[in-house]
Amino acid sequence: MAKEKKVKEIAKKDTVDAQVFIQRKLQILNQKNGGRYERDATRVVQNNQ
């Protein structure tokens, strides 16, 4: 049981890391493009789960 919980926590952390990574990427794109990608980061991550 504890092992399963740990796996879920790791998966959750990976998801958060992915979200942060995508948001950073999109922030860089936003600076070039004037800001239309920011809200897409969470959607991209949710679609990939």
44: tokens are 């991209």
* Overall domain count for the chain: 1
Q: What is the 3-state secondary structure (H, E, C) of the chain?
A: CHHHHHHHHHHHHHHHHHHHHHHHHHHHHHHHHCCCCCCHHHHHHHHHC
The answer to whether 26 touches 41, Cβ cutoff 8 Å, is yes
Q: Which of 10, 8, 13, 7 is nearest to 45 (CA)?
A: 13
Domain region containing 16: 2-48
Question: pLDDT tens digits for 1-49?
Answer: 567 777 777 777 777 888 888 888 888 777 776 655 556 666 666 666 6
Q: What is the pLDDT of residue 33?
A: 63
pLDDT score of 5: 75
pLDDT of residue 18: 83
